[in-house]
């Protein structure tokens, strides 16, 4: 089973395995560099994505309907159902198509939180 092989053949095989190992190490280093680059890019894009989401949310908040507190939202719903919410006529029915500047001022007027 064990044949004597010339020493030259063993050294040739050893040299070939060493060469393949070096090539494998070079390939692994290249892959590691590519993985690092992709991970860095992914982190940058994640940060940019979060920033853009905050900007979009801020723009929606500014351009969208005014954010009302829960109590003001309730007053708005009562007003839309046809009732006065102002202190002058509170609870009285609005005539069809009627609007009340006092009511809209109560609902959408001065917000103490925004004055700060």
Q: Which pLDDT score, from 0 to 100, does residue 63 have?
A: 61
In a domain, 15, yes or no: yes
Domain containing 89 equals: 66-111
Yes or no: say if 85 and 105 are a contact pair by the CB < 8 Å rule: no
Q: Structurally, how many domains does the chain consist of?
A: 2
Token representation of residue 26: 């070079």
Band (66; pLDDT cuts 50, 70, 90) = low
Q: Which residues contact 102 (CB under 8 A, 6 or more apart)?
A: 84, 86, 87, 88, 89
Answer yes or no: are the C-beta atoms of 82 and 93 closer than 8 Å. Answer: yes
- Mark whether 101 and 78 lie in a shared domain: yes
Say if residue 114's pLDDT is above 60: no
Tell me the pLDDT tens digit for each residue of 2-59. Answer: 555 566 699 999 999 999 999 999 999 999 999 999 999 999 999 999 998 888 877 7
pTM above 0.75, yes or no: no
> Considering the domain boundaries, does residue 116 fall inside one?
no
């Amino acid at each position: 089973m064990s044949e004597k092989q010339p020493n030259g053949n063993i050294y040739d095989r050893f040299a070939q395995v060493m060469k393949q190992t070096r090539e494998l190490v070079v390939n692994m280093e290249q892959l590691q560099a590519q993985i690092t680059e992709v991970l860095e890019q992914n982190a940058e894009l994640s940060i940019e994505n979060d920033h853009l989401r905050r900007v979009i949310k801020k723009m929606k908040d500014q351009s969208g309907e005014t954010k009302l507190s829960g109590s003001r939202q309730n007053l708005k719903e009562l007003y839309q159902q046809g009732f006065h919410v102002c202190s002058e006529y509170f609870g009285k029915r609005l005539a069809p198509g009627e609007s009340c500047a006092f009511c809209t001022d109560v609902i959408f007027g001065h917000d103490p939180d925004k004055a700060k």
